[in-house]
Amino acid sequence: MESAQIALSTLTPGFADPVHDTQAVFRTLLDTLSRPGTIGLIGDVLPEPHRARAEPAAFAALLTLCDYATPVWLAQPDTALASALRFHTGAPLVDTPANAAFAYLHDAEALPPLESFAPGSAESPEQSATLLIRVDALTGGEPIALRGPGIRDTATISPVGLPARFWRERATLAPLFPSGIDCYLVCGTRLIGLPRTTEAKVN
């Protein structure tokens, strides 16, 4: 009993109001993915102390999207985040990106080739991976022009901290549609959605 109490006392808290907060975060995630280039804000839904190293937007997204049937891959070890995901969502943690439904990358430079992740199939495109990638900033970097569904003409983003190969590797996955990989770029409590349908071109 004592060891259980110690474990719970050191556990990273989840949502203060799980039903309401999950709905609010899900709406933000859906909105940013359906309107690529838009910066979404995850509200103040995570109580202190926030012991997991993950960005608040990424942690909130994982709490919202994950359950016992969605394997998660953490690119960088994070004991607090791993424990919180197991406790709050029941999501299993996997050792390889190929087996992940969701992946969190705290260090974008350590991003493995995008082909390492499951793209789904033409029959089951939903069985693809969704990546949450921490960046240093969502603005101030090299401009990237976005085109595709949900964008009127073009949109421009300028994240800081992504390896240049990320954009090339995304482009090589485009012919696989409807298979592919959806991504969120996260920084603090903000995020940008990059669905597989979005064409990105470095200006």
Region 187-193 average pLDDT: 96
- The pLDDT mean for the chain works out to 90
What pLDDT, on the 0 to 100 scale, is given for residue 190?
Answer: 96
Residue 25, class by beta-carbon neighbours within 10 Å (0-12 exposed, 13-18 middle, 19+ buried)?
buried
Alpha-carbon distance values, 111 to 130, 169, 194 (Å)? 13, 11, 16
Q: Which two tokens stand for residue 86?
A: 């197991």
- The residue among 50 and 164 whose pLDDT is bigger is 164
Structural domains of the chain in order of their starting residue, each with its CATH number: 2-202 (3.40.50.11310)
Q: Mean of the pLDDT values across residues 80-100?
A: 94
* Per-position DSSP letters for the chain, written without gaps between them: -HHHHHHHHTSPP--SSHHHHHHHHHHHHHHHHHSTTPEEE--S-SPSP--SSS-HHHHHHHHHH--TTS-EEESS--HHHHHHHHHHH-PPB-SSGGG-SEEEES-GGGPPPGGGS-B--SS-TTSB-EEEEE-SBSSSS--EEEESTT-SS-EEE--BS--THHHHHHHHHGGGTTS--EEEEEETTEEEEE-TT-EEEE-
The dihedral through the CA atoms of 40, 46, 51, 52 has a sign that is negative
pLDDT, tens digit, for every residue of 46-79?
A: 876 555 678 999 999 999 999 999 999 999 989 8
Residues 115-149 pLDDT 10s: 999 999 989 999 999 999 999 999 999 999 999 99
In the structure encoding, which two tokens stand for residue 66, read together? 């994950």
How much of the chain exceeds pLDDT 70, in percent? 93
Q: Are 57 and 193 in contact (CB under 8 A)?
A: no
Sorted by sequence, the CB contacts under 8 Å of residue 181 that are 6+ apart come out as 114, 117, 119, 128, 129, 130, 131, 170, 173, 196
Rounded to two decimals, the pTM is 0.91
Q: What is the mean pLDDT of residues 153-167?
A: 95
pLDDT value at position 171? Answer: 95
* Share of residues in the chain with pLDDT > 90 (%): 78
